[in-house]
Amino acid sequence: MIYIILFLLPLAIGASILRQKWNNIKCIQNEHKEESRKASILFYQALKLKYLKIPIVVTTDKEEKYQNKLLRHYGNRSRKVVLLPKHLGESNYAFQERKKLYIKKYCDDHKELIEYGYDNFYKEVDRIKKADLLAFLESPFDTEESKQFIYEFIDFLLKHPKAVYHPAVQNPSTVTQLTHQIN
């Protein structure tokens, strides 16, 4: 009887320690998943700002200034920011259709420029993947270099959040949390 107790007691202790470690790892992975989701959205937004040439259509002067500021920072001054205000009484559907038509016409007229932007975008993504600088988006372990690269790249977006609603940054405290995680 005592031998059974001496055999099962360490087994039970070991199982509880393993369960606790497993729960800690799961907690770390869940926190990382949320952080990497937000960082991924901002990272790809910044890459698109840097390389794509499709015009950005905005409705207010404030948005136009903000987008031009972002394009200046990411070195894509050749990308066009178009102020296309919504007409009085125009429905959202009609405005979206007018916006799509403008972008389609611009893309048809500047096909080579658009293709050039996409080519550069995909080349840069491939270069970053080959250098294993996107590892942070996949795993929380041993990815400090990748995390540092991503947060340096999106630092400007974190410090200058969009003036209107954006799904990646739902409230100002999220921006503050992400900014503190960089440091």
In a domain, 161, yes or no: yes
pLDDT at 174: 47
- Residue ranges of alpha helices (H) inside the chain are 2-51, 61-73, 92-109, 111-130, 144-159, 172-182
* Contact indicator for 84, 99 with CB cutoff of 8 Å: yes
In a domain, 13, yes or no: no
Q: How many domains does the chain have?
A: 1
In a domain, 45, yes or no: yes
Residues 6+ apart with CB under 8 A from 136: 36, 39, 143, 146, 147, 150
pLDDT at 171: 45
Q: List the one residue out of 123, 160, 148, 139 whose CA is nearest residue 32.
A: 139
In a domain, 109, yes or no: yes
Q: Give the H/E segment covering residue 82.
A: strand 81-83
In a domain, 23, yes or no: no
- State which residues of the chain have pLDDT below 70: 1, 163-183
CA dist 137 → 133, 157, 165, 167, 180 (Å): 9, 18, 24, 18, 18
The one-letter amino acid code at 155 reads D
Dihedral sign from CA coordinates of 29, 31, 34, 38: negative
Return the residue matching tokens 């500021």: 69
Expressed as residue numbers, the domain containing 80 is: 34-182
pLDDT at 163: 54
The structure's pTM equals 0.73
Residue 32 neighbours by CB distance under 10 Å: 19
In a domain, 122, yes or no: yes
For 85-118, the pLDDT digits (tens) are 999 999 999 999 999 999 999 999 999 999 999 9
Distance CA 48, CA 26 (A): 32
In a domain, 26, yes or no: no
In a domain, 15, yes or no: no
pLDDT at 1: 67
DSSP-derived secondary structure letter, 143? -
